Amino acid sequence: MEWNQLEYFLTVARMQHVTRAAEALSITQPALSHSLAKLEEELGVQLFERSGRNVKLNRYGQTFAARVSNALQEIIRGKEEIAELTDPESGVVSLAFGNILGTHFIPELVHRFQEKYPNIRFELFQGSCTQTQQLLEEGQCDLNITSPRGGADGIVWETLFTADLYAVVPASHRLAAKEAIGLKELADEPFIGIHRDCGLRGTVDAINRTHQFLRHVKYSAEDLVTVAGFVAAGLGVSLLPKSRALILEGMHWIKIATPGCVCEVGVEWKEKRYLSPAARLFRDFALKISRLREAI
């Protein structure tokens, strides 16, 4: 059963005349009659009551016509929606990102992009590193802005920026007077850790292995804002990127002299999955902005 067959069938049903329907469809009358005969053969019933060139739907034809009409309308609407989604100037970008990036980086990036492309819309998904990577794997989003890079097969990663990690301590802590410290100065301190679903956990674990930084984890928080809250309350120390959302009263930020204490934020997408023009436009815009930032 083909699209043309169904379109021909509905045209004949509407015009109730084979010759006039053939003229309207710009095909020959024998070709149209052949198409209708093949359709009826496939369905196993006659669809029309015939009187010469005049035809009228019988009860089977009326039932089938109602379904076909709805189906073709849905297909047409689907084609229109795909055209809208893939229009580079008015499409949709499906974007996933880590929780902490939603406090200022993602809103600012989207704002700058929509100043240039105001008709492009966004579908936004926010969550932990594990959640957003799963969304990308399952095809629920086009792009994922996350940290750190996952390294899964078939996933392409491009770095957007790197951010220094700081030692964060309560404001009354003995180390708060220092401008910079080495990681080992935190070795005996009660440490506020991070749940393994949080992207920074992987970065801190890698730093731990590289520098043999032995943490004494007292509490493990679900997200970075909670880590900052526990530090500000005097419950321990931690490592955090200096984000506006994490700067709380009652905590102090200290530079880390130990090399390599940085976190990397990047954009990733599936290598063999189709990316709409709007999604490619946003990805390239984000990469361009990041490279301009590095050049300054």
Q: What is 200-236 written as a DSSP string?
A: HHHHHHHHHHHHT---EEEEEESSHHHHHHHHHTTS-
Query: Average pLDDT, stretch 75-86?
Result: 73
- Is the predicted pLDDT of residue 237 greater than 50, yes or no? yes
- Paired with 145 in beta bridges are 97, 267
List CB contacts of 164: < 8 A, sequence separation 6 or more.
241, 242, 255, 256, 261, 262
pLDDT value of residue 264: 93
Residue 274 pLDDT grade (very low, low, confident, very high; cuts 50, 70, 90): confident
- Paired with 266 in beta bridges are 146, 159
The DSSP call for residue 237 is: B
User: Could you tell me the two tokens for 220?
Assistant: 């493990």
pLDDT, mean over the chain: 90
Query: Average pLDDT, stretch 23-32?
Result: 91
The tokens 């089938």 sit on which residue? Answer: 64
Residue 296 pLDDT grade (very low, low, confident, very high; cuts 50, 70, 90): very low
158-191 confidence digits (pLDDT tens): 999 999 999 999 999 999 999 999 999 998 899 9
Asked if 215 and 189 count as a contact pair (C-beta separation under 8 A), the reply is: no
Give, in order, the Cα–Cα distances in Å from 217 to each of 190, 224, 233. Answer: 6, 15, 16
pLDDT value of residue 78: 80
For the chain, percent of residues with pLDDT exceeding 90: 58
Domains, in order of start, for the chain:
3-86 (1.10.10.10), 93-158+267-295 (3.40.190.10), 160-263 (3.40.190.290)
For the chain, percent of residues with pLDDT exceeding 70: 96
Give, in order, the Cα–Cα distances in Å from 262 to each of 7, 248, 265. Answer: 61, 21, 10
- Is the predicted pLDDT of residue 54 greater than 60, yes or no? yes
- Is the predicted pLDDT of residue 53 greater than 80, yes or no? no
The tokens 């100037």 sit on which residue? Answer: 89
- Is the predicted pLDDT of residue 262 greater than 60, yes or no? yes
- Is the predicted pLDDT of residue 52 greater than 80, yes or no? no
Residue 293 pLDDT grade (very low, low, confident, very high; cuts 50, 70, 90): low
pLDDT value of residue 295: 46
User: Could you tell me the two tokens for 130?
Assistant: 């594990």
Helix (H) or strand (E) holding 87: none
- Is the predicted pLDDT of residue 86 greater than 70, yes or no? no
Query: Average pLDDT, stretch 118-126?
Result: 93
- Is the predicted pLDDT of residue 1 greater than 80, yes or no? no
**3-class secondary structure, 115:** helix
Distance, CA of 53 to CA of 195 (rounded, Å): 75
134-157 confidence digits (pLDDT tens): 999 988 899 999 998 887 889 999
Q: Which amino acid is at 66?
A: A
